[in-house]
Structure 1
Amino acid sequence: MFDSAAGVRQRGKKKSGGSGPGSGSEDEPLIRKPHVAAAYTPPIALHRGYQVALAVITALAFATRFWNIGYPNQVVFDEVHFGKFASYYLERTYFFDVHPPFGKLLFALMGWFVGYDGHFKFENIGDSYITNGVPYVAFRAMPAMLGALTVPVVFLTMQESGYSLPAAITAALLVLFDNAHIGQTRLILLDATLILSMACSLLCYIRFYKLRHDPFGRKWWKWLLLTGVSLSCVISTKYVGVFTFVTIGGAVLIDLWNLLDVRRGLSLQTFGKHFMARAFGLIIVPFMFYLFWFQVHFAILYKSGPGDDFMSPAFQETLADNALSLSSIDVHYYDTVQIRHKDTKAFLHSHRENYPLRYEDGRVSSQGQQVTGYPFNDTNNHWVIMPPAPFPDSQRLNRPVRNGDVIKLHHVQTNTDLLSHDVASPYYPTNQEFTTVSMDKSYGDRHNDTLFEIKFDHGKAGQDLKTLAAHFKLLHVPSKVAMWTHSKPLPEWAFKQQEINGNKNVAQTSNIWFIEDIPSLAAGDARNTKEERKVKHLSFFRKYFELQRAMFHHNNALTSSHPYASQPIQWPFLLRGVSFWTKNDTREQIYFLGNPIGWWLASSLLAVLAGIYGADLITQRRGIDALDRRTRSKLYNSTGFFFLAWASHYFPFFLMGRQLFLHHYLPAHLASALVTGALVEFIFCPEDSVEIRDGKKVVVPGNKQAYIGAWVATGVIGAIVLGGFLFYAPLTYGTPGLTPDQVLARKWLGYELHFAK
């Protein structure tokens, strides 16, 4: 590992570990001796150069992120979500989101610091913060600070990996002057937390790896645990943080594989200690912190709120003032009820019109009475819950319906019973049609086809059915399909109401229904007497696992189209951006877009690195050794680690079916900046050579002119990246407004910019 001050690894112990992030030269003690022709830079002066560069870069990072942070004083893009969530935290009101709580809790913490009460709900893009008295600058200051800190972390990552000062500055500049990083981290969004945590994970692991020759020491444990804490912050902000686990996990597996080599001299017991230490620090510690943030989440959100509908009735009854606790009543046989779908909120409905003989695709229907989903309250939504065989008149009262009961549903207005049979539904040839039949057939030859089992989504066998509080699937007894509906409307022949059909995928979570009301409940019924109900308790793990299931389900369900969604293949080449905010009268806009110069350079050098790897492998196969051992080790280990980080944060998105946007590439872009800095050194800075003098190894610095070339390369890259940043700055900061000609000049790849006319 290269020493951070002198650029050379100084070790006094015998080698016990192999390749890894930043590893490089020989393992015996090295004595640096200046070469007369090399104009060697003293280590103290070099270290001071790193300190000065770090201070300047950090100051610029804060300046670019905080400049005019109060503009615009309106809600911008996804601030409608994450600002709203902070308000719910401050009001202690339960909400639902597909992301873990850590990043949102930071916003709530900032709101608490400034005394904000959460009264504003960030409903619409363009709503005024000033009019509504929102401390939005304080909210934006949180991600701006985290985004600014990311830049020095990038610099330190290069320094700790043993790269030269020009290489470290180059990598930091690509993030410092990137419009996408600036634009995304000066608004009330989660990405600043995610990216800083990812960058800290890489830095901490490199610091940990540098101590591999002094295992189980205090510093070794410190940096191992800090790596785990950083990883926990990544995964506790967004689930795409798992890609950082893949990066660190890949490096750890290589490290463990090397330690397992018998030539390392480790016993299996010692290897087991290494394995268990890493498992504890990089798996158990992050998971415990991850659980901790959910515990905080549940502890804060104890009031009923807009997130109730995403949770089970048992979960909802743990929230104060929940409608289920206040309004739910037992459902009895012979009650007239309204049954509602949990996801689409449509009522189970029927009317006298029949299905057409043939559908648009030529398939034939049963021509039975239509059963549909209807969004409004109507008497055609009334159904009577009947037993399979009628109870004697003397036994009909106060007979509760329970989980697992088999029932019939009688439609009040048409005097028919609900039925499903082996006829294809209008939209789904694989699903069964729902219709109704007359009473004589229902208790005659079609009796079995009218039987349905009530199966609670969460509940014990024999548990009483309640309005609102019991979510259930209605399973057709003979065919074992579940009653289901979806939002696509039927044609005019069904008045564009929703299709009801029998879903063969019984486990599908969208098969859930509930009883909303009992219109037939008499005024004197004892069930109208409401007893005072206490908030119920569920264990943390029951709540945690239920919330996890709901989060993963709804995250995977984000498949609808979006006008600014993009595909992963477009990201490295910056082919699309996202419109965040516009102001028509001043022709101002915020358009989320990276610095094209920086992105194209980084993407090009990723291809160059792949080419270098390929060429080196081929030349080695042909017996040509074009690289010295130390250069090759650094190229494959340190630079390879950065390349692994880029690949781990990029390629998995090709497997996703959900909505994707340009901001998903930001962690991968940060890794590509590290690769770019590393290649500047590889191309322009020769490695220090090792010579044997008087029986000792002596390091001779590289050629001065080559380092001048590296500084020139860094200067050129910095200048063009700064130029690109300034050119697109009006779209990043939202001001000043641009003329049509100025807008057109920035549509380099046909970006969907506003006010081009």
Structure 2
Amino acid sequence: MASDPLRSRRLGDRSLGAASTSTYVAPPAAADAYTSDKPTESAKPSSYASRPRKASLSDDRPLAKASRSRTGTTSWWSRVGGGLDVIQPGENRVLAGLVLLGAVVRYWHIARPSSVVFDEVHFGGYIQSRFFMDVHPPLAKLLITLVAWLAGFKGGQFDFKDIGAEYGPAHVPYIAMRLLPATLGLALVPLAYLTLRALHLRPATALLGALFVLFENGLITQSRFILLDSPLILFTALSAFFWIGFSNENETPRDRHGKVGPFSKRWWTWLTLTGLALGAVVSCKWVGLFTIATVGVFTVLQLWLLLGDLRVPIPLLVRHFVARAICLIAVPVVFYISMFAIHFAVLSNSGDGDGFMSSEFQHTLRGHGMQDTFADVMVGSRITIRHAHTQGGYLHSHPHVYPGGSQQQQITLYPHRDDNNVWLVLNATADPNIPDVETHAPPTPIKDRQTLVFHHPSTHKKLHSHDVRPPVSEVDYQNEVSGYGFEGFEGDANDHWVLEIDQFESAYGGKHAKTHLEALRTRFRLRHMLTGCYLFSHKVKLPEWGFEQQEVTCNKNPSRENALWYIETNEHKMLPLDARKVNYRRPSFLAKFAELQAVMWQTNQGLTDRHAYDSRPSSWPLLLRGINFWVKDHRQVYLIGNPFVWALSTIAVSSFLAIRGLLILRAQRGYKDFANSQVVYYDRVGTFLFAGWFLHYFPFFLMGRQLFLHHYFPALYFALLLLATAFDLATSRLRPRLRLSVALTLIGGAVLAWWYLSPLAYAGVWTRGQCERAKKLGRNWDFSCADFHEKKSDYAPQSAVPTLNCAKPSHEMLPPRDERLGGKAQDYSSGLCGGPLVYGSLADGHHHAPHAAYVQPTAAARLQQSALAVVPDPSLEPQAHESEINPPVLICLGAPPLRGGSGEVAQ
């Protein structure tokens, strides 16, 4: 590539020769920036730098290194540093214009729709201080909760759990809550401009990149609702911006006053801000680790180049290393942990998420503690037994039998406290039919290797196992565990279990807990005396006939942890009141923090089932499909990107790879492309942005969990910046006016595509014909045009007819309840809007809907005109535990009243 004289002169001392020790994102500086921490004489500004002038979007001349106002005073941007001293006063008006335009685009009709949209269902736990389980760190939710609290929302009865539920009747300040992510999305626009200027690209280039971000439909849609991605993307962008600013400061020689350059106040500020931004991004979602990886890679490159520079003394090298370790490792870690400290402080009450956590953790929550219990377990004690490894709960039985196998009474794990969790522990030779068997003999401590019988007082059954395969885990090494016997029956040898105390796991309980059975302190296994198998449970749920409780079996070759049990509560009538008692040990903050991280990881890994609108990473750069957020009242919110901007960004990424590969091949053949400072400069800027795109995109290929289009947005941001960089390079030889014309053409294409698809972002008015024409832009786009009216005049309030609310939160799976719909997977992917019909029951005039399934187009069209279309579904069995419920029905929510009499249903 030939050198452009104007461009080379513009770069001036920023040319990136092969011998430079600069990083991949900043222009180089004098060697003293690396080899010494002593101040140097500031370079005398060039003639053009000393003459203040206005910034021009079409200007090809170099900008002043230190921008000054008309009075000659240094501008605010120059004092900030970080490479922003290239910004001229006239650009402040550009930034203001971007903010105003962005506010219109982001805030337009933000109150619409006035009901819960997509993953807004996940908010509500913080408001009521009830503990809940989420796979994401808490920062983004805490920010939105703070806004809701400042707006006066105290929670009330609104739980955010149902898509389509109206906010109005509950007085939820949803507009204020949505304004936070919208404002963060707005901040992304000027931040993109500043980032590109910090990379020393032209003002026109920075404006183009900012407008690409501004008019990107996917970013707009995602930022208008109470979702986590807007904070995530902003903190990702801030991390990149602060890192670029730090790199620029790191390249600047120290002046005589030590105000600029390495280890100056500005240098430390930019480095610390980078660490705080990294802590914030990973505190929103764990995908923020990709941002940490991006900064980490270039930090290692910086230190590697310093290590190879023999002019850098070892003490100075150590200072550079320690400074980065403190700010880029310690600061993010402390920030991340502090967010969980706030999380625990806010969620201090027992809630829906208790069951995910250990009993020790649950005991720290208000409303979930328990009274002290007797420590020593005696023969004749009434106990509750908990599984030590999974959070399935208590060893449990109830008067329901297995449908196959022995057809004896079910033994399960049940997560809640219940009378059916209580067992009477007896010697194998004891007769449970003796009146008041607990007081028949003096209490005798239970010791290791003792043979025991576990009697279930509620049903008069005994814990029993035999050589019969269990109904779910039908393998040779698993035996069924059942409740067997009846009142007055003495039992048989299949009721005998040998206590085996685990010495290692019981060590923390003390010496006595390793030889005698103690509540809460002893971990033990129960070995079936006749078959040699061990009482066992794992994360396998029984079907509906087992009320979806966790399976319990007798395993001949169990994993160690899944065969461990412990006693939670222990009562005995003969023990004195002053007998030794114990309770759960209160875990430390760090222990709770570590446990929650492990549970979050396990839960995240478990999200492997399909969702109606999930997608794989290979489809994201091509924008093959979006996500249906909300459908109601003949309007729709569908997350889809701006196809014009999206296509250009993908071309830019592909072009960078192709050109970089070509340059490598040319270098191998002896060409001296990298002797050209312009080539090296664009290569280094492009490498940083491409690495940001790659490290935020490629890791998703390694994940087996549910993935959605919005997971691509952080990578898309880097792709848009790379697109702007490609424009800067491609137009570097054009005349300024022509370059501006090209930029305006690209902006026009982005605005046109944004406007064309804007009804999907704003739940706006759209006709069916407009929808069909727009759908031709993407072959696989699966938003439903049948939801829209034929004519815009049909949207008059008097003729508006509600339609099905068919969106679905991302944590729900597809296909739902396949086994209950005939025992095989059914194809619901062609549903009217991919949304759920609901299986439930009618009781007291209200619908109860615990299950969901997808509706096909023909069925949806028939149901579209009915208010509550109820179809009996005999394939569903009652869900209530040990109680009767009303006949299960299929409910289609959200349409006008039926024209028949009250109680009429559509068959």
Q: Same fold (TM over 0.5)?
A: yes
Deviations 1:327-369, CA, capped at 9 Å, x for gaps: 9999754356676777556864488978968xxxxxxxxx696
Judge which range, 277-286 or 554-563, deviates more: 554-563
Shift in alpha-carbon separation, 1:339–1:39, aligned structure 2, 3 A: closer
Corresponding position of 1:622: 669
Deviation sequence 1:455-498 (CA, Å, 0-9, x none): 9899735669999x899785547868561155554699x99987
Cross-structure match for 2:151: 114
Residue 759 of structure 2 is matched in structure 1 by 730
Task: Give the whole-Å Cα distance in 2 for the aligned partners of 1:465 and 1:118.
Answer: 45
Structure-to-structure mapping, 1:2-151, within 5 angstroms: 8=11, 17-23=21-27, 31=46, 40=61, 43=64, 47-82=88-123, 84-88=124-128, 92-119=129-156, 120-151=158-189
Q: CA deviation at 1:282?
A: 0.2
Shift in CA distance, 237/491, structure 1 to aligned 2, threshold 3 Å = closer
Query: Match of 1:744?
Result: 772
Q: Residues 145-544 of structure 1: matches in 2 within 5 Å? A: 145-213=183-251, 214-263=261-310, 265-325=311-371, 333-335=379-381, 343=391, 348-349=396-397, 372-373=411-412, 383-387=423-427, 396=441, 407-410=452-455, 416-419=462-465, 426-427=472-473, 429=475, 431-435=477-481, 451=499, 460=509, 476=527, 483-486=536-539, 488-489=541-542, 499-502=551-554, 506=559, 538-544=587-593
Given the alignment, which residue of 631, 642, 655 partners 1:595? 642
Distance 2:539 2:149 in 1: 41
What CA deviation, in whole Å up to 9, does each residue of 1:83-141 have, x standing for no partner? x13423xxx33333221121111112112222221222212111111111111111111
In structure 2, the CA distance between the partners of 1:502 and 1:379, relative to structure 1 (3 Å rule), is same
TM-score normalised according to structure 2 size: 0.68
**1:398-456 residue CA offsets vs partner (Å, 9 max, x unmatched):** 56779998754346657554337797875353752234698999876x78866565898
Alpha-carbon distance between aligned partners in 2 of 1:165 and 1:404, rounded to the nearest angstrom: 80
Residues 302 and 338 of structure 1: is their aligned pair in 2 closer, same or farther, counting only changes over 3 Å? closer
How far off is 1:221 after superposition?
Answer: 0.5
1:323 Cα shift? 4.8
Whole-Å Cα distance in 2 between the matches of residues 409 and 48 of structure 1?
A: 82
Residues 710-725 of structure 1 aligned to structure 2 (within 5 Å): 710-725=739-754
Residues 491 and 248 of structure 1: is their aligned pair in 2 closer, same or farther, counting only changes over 3 Å?
closer
2:3 corresponds to: none
| C-alpha distance in structure 2 between counterparts of 1:154 and 1:378, whole Å | 57
How many matched pairs? Answer: 708
**1:39-76 deviation per Cα after TM superposition (whole angstroms, max 9, x unaligned):** 84775798245333322222222221111111111111
| Letter of the structure 1 residue corresponding to residue 779 of structure 2 | L
SS in 2 for 1:546: helix
Q: 1:346 to 1:308 in 2, by over 3 A?
A: closer
Deviations 1:193-226 (A, max 9, x none): 1111110110101111111242111111110001
How far apart, CA to CA, are the structure 2 residues paired with 1:647 and 1:55? 32
Which residue matches 2:712? 665
Distance 1:380 1:196, change over 3 A: closer
Using the alignment, how far apart are the partners of 1:347 and 1:234 within structure 2?
41
2:539 and 2:592 mapped to 1: Cα distance? 27
User: Is contact 2:397-2:483 (8 Å) kept?
Assistant: no
Report the counterpart of residue 3 of structure 1 in structure 2: none
- In the alignment, is the contact (CA less than 8 A) between 2:22 and 2:28 conserved in 1? no
Answer 1 or 2: higher relative contact order, Cα 8 Å, separation at least 6. 1
More helix by share: 1
**Conservation of the 8 A alpha-carbon contact between 1:350 and 1:369:** no
Q: Is the 8 A contact 1:410 1:418 kept in 2?
A: no
| Distance in 2 of aligned mates of 1:438 and 1:250 | 62
Residue 756 of structure 1 corresponds to: 786
Shift of 1:314: 2.2
Instruction: State the match for 2:610 in structure 1.
Output: 561
**Could you say if the C-alpha distance between residues 403 and 727 of structure 1 is closer, same or farther in structure 2, counting changes exceeding 3 Å?**
farther
Shift of 1:184: 0.9
How big is the alpha-carbon RMSD for the aligned residues of Structure 1 and Structure 2? Answer: 4.5
Deviation at 1:172, TM superposition (A): 1.4
Q: Which runs of 5+ in 2 are unaligned?
A: 1-8, 32-42, 50-58, 70-86, 252-260, 432-436, 788-907
Q: Give the SS at the match of 1:500.
A: strand
Q: Is the contact between residue 140 and residue 284 of structure 2 (CA under 8 Å) also seen in structure 1?
A: yes
1:166 offset after TM fit, Å? 2.5
Report the 3-state secondary structure (helix = DSSP H, G, I; strand = E; otherwise coil) of the residue aligned with 1:324. coil
Change (3 A) 1:176 1:340: same
Distance 1:402 1:93 in 2: 40
Output the amino acid matched with 1:562: H
Rounded Cα–Cα distance in structure 2 between residues aligned with 1:425 and 1:555: 28
SS at structure 2 position matched to 1:631: helix
CA distance in 2, matches of 1:475, 1:629: 75
Judge which range, 404-413 or 661-670, deviates more: 404-413
CA-CA distance at 1:394 after TM superposition: 7.1
Alignment match, 1:693: none
Please list the CA deviations of residues 226-261 of structure 1 after superposition, one character each: whole Å capped at 9, or x if unmatched: 100111101111111110000000010111100001
Q: Does the 8 Å CA contact 2:126/2:346 hold for their aligned counterparts? A: no
Structure 1 window deviating more from structure 2 (293-302 vs 381-390): it is 381-390
Identity rate, percent: 30
8 Å Cα contact 2:400/2:410 also seen in 1: no
Q: What secondary structure, in the 3-state scheme, does the structure 1 residue paired with 2:424 have?
A: strand
Give the 3-state SS of the residue equivalent to 2:94 in structure 1: helix
Q: What code does the residue aligned with 1:110 have? A: V
Tell me the distance in 2 between the aligned counterparts of 1:202 and 1:458: 49
* Mapped contact 1:595–1:724 kept (Cα < 8 A): yes
Q: Amino acid of the residue matched to residue 302 of structure 1? A: S
Within the alignment, does 1:577 sit opposite 2:626 as a pair?
A: yes
The 8 Å contact of residues 431 and 501 in structure 1, kept in 2 or not, is answered as no
